[in-house]
Copies of this chain bind each other. A is one copy, B any other.
Amino acid sequence: MADPFVVVGGDAAGLSAASKCRRTDPDRDVVVFEKGQWISYAHCGTPYFVKGEVEHLENLLSLSPAAVAERGIDLRRGHEVVEVDTESRTVTVRAGGEPFEQPYGDLIIATGARAVDDPIEGSSLDRVFTLHGLDDAAAIRAYLTPPDEFAVADLGGDDAVATDVAERYGAMTPPETVAIVGAGYVGVEMAEAFDAWDVDVHLFQRSARPVPGFGDAVGDAVIEVLRDADVTTHFGEEVVRLRGDGGTVDAVVCDTGSELDVDAALVGIGIRPNAELAADTPINLGASGAVATDAYGRTSVGDVYAAGDVAEMPHTVTGEATWDPLGLPANRAGRAIGATVGGKPTPVGSVAETAMVKAFDLECGRTGILDHQRAREAGFDPVAKTITAGSRSGYYPGAAETTVTLVADRDTGQLLGGSIAGTDRAAVRIDTVATALGGELTVGELERQDLGYAPPFSPVWDPVLVAAKVLNGSLP
């Protein structure tokens, strides 16, 4: 019997690979090592758990350990893979006692990413949070809940939750003022979550606008909803230090010298791939620091794959290796690798860095290359247009302004990217643009796509088509 398919990491990419491998080849042994207790959970749902819209931690789990076992997968939680030996084709696993060796036939590294360690001075003070995982989410919600209403059991999550941390925060008086450092999508979603608990929210961002990856027009629209929601925005200000007496944060300090007294801080400055396993192996990392892979998710070492937040994937527009740590690419690549390992070679596809974010009632989306500098580096001559158009026929109740930006290459008209913001069915419309990127359409071709029209859902010219018309009309 062949050595098993060994999966390192029990989240989206790892469990997708494990499950698909078993379905493709039911005779193949599959072992999953997960260093923590949580498996297969929805990172992107954590702000809504903190907010309280999602009631229990287990609501965020896609698969229970029991369901994994039912698929015939040997899942070992609390097992950390600390070394890979690609010569002997073994991994070294630590789980409490003596480390042991596990031989593999095929291996996938799906170790994910983590919040940047100590991103700013003072990050290790008490009541300074990051949001990367269910234990973080549990701690923050515990802290936001008044002590007399708090019960650790209400968080859900059974055996997996870090009870001691949650109970410590659950006993504290909830914060009145919170600083969120970093207005990426986690920062913006967490502003909504804190606001729902009537916390005075201050949102800091080094650049002039929030969600910089979504482009200027979306950033401007998000600024408007944040201000309408009474979130205090500090944009163009860099937080250089979290200050605290007695080990607990009590203020944030900016590069401008300004200070703000706070009860707590959430730092959402960035994440990094957990690529340490590749160190001292012939498994190559890419320029991003994530593991380099080919079209089938293979690393530079035969029979070793990587997927999810730890791996690079080719970019839909440029073909260049790209680190895009988001949910769908992780699931898709994991699933493809599982099929490949199971005997049915399947490409992992590419990433357009498509993303969506909800900012209070505003729906935002982005895909492809919006940044002009980056477009130029990839050999394009970018031209962009931003338009505002209705989400429905103008006469139909509920039509809402929808802002669309499209970027194309001046000479060829090739579509490079797009973004969207609006309150009515805006985010899902970015999928039209993402699919146009996948089909390598020019902006002229996008303008002629036969999209749907019905007064309650979409005007004759969908906002995406309006943007394509305007951008195409501006090209030589």
Residues of A within 8 A of B (CB): 12, 42, 44-45, 48, 53-54, 59-60, 316, 326-329, 331-332, 347-358, 363, 365, 367, 393, 395-397, 425, 427-432, 434-441, 445-446, 448-458, 460-462, 464-465
Contact = CB atoms under 8 A, between A and B. Distances in A.
Contact of A438 (B353, B445, B453): B445
Contacts of A452: 354-356, 365, 367, 427-428, 430-431, 434
A457 B428 contact: yes
A54 B441 CA distance: 37
A450 B438 contact: yes
A461 B328 CA distance: 7
A45 B455 contact: yes
A429 B427 contact: no
Contacts of A363: 456-457
Contacts of A393: 42, 44-45
7 contacts: A44-B393, A54-B395, A350-B450, A354-B452, A356-B454, A434-B449, A438-B448
A326 B439 CA distance: 25
A26 to B, nearest CB: 15
Contacts of A460: 12, 42, 327-328, 331
A451 B328 contact: yes
Contacts of A328: 450-451, 453, 460-461, 465
Contacts of A59: 395
A320 to B, nearest CB: 15
Contacts of A12: 460
A245 to B, nearest CB: 38
Given A347-B448, A436-B435, A438-B450, A455 B44 contact: yes
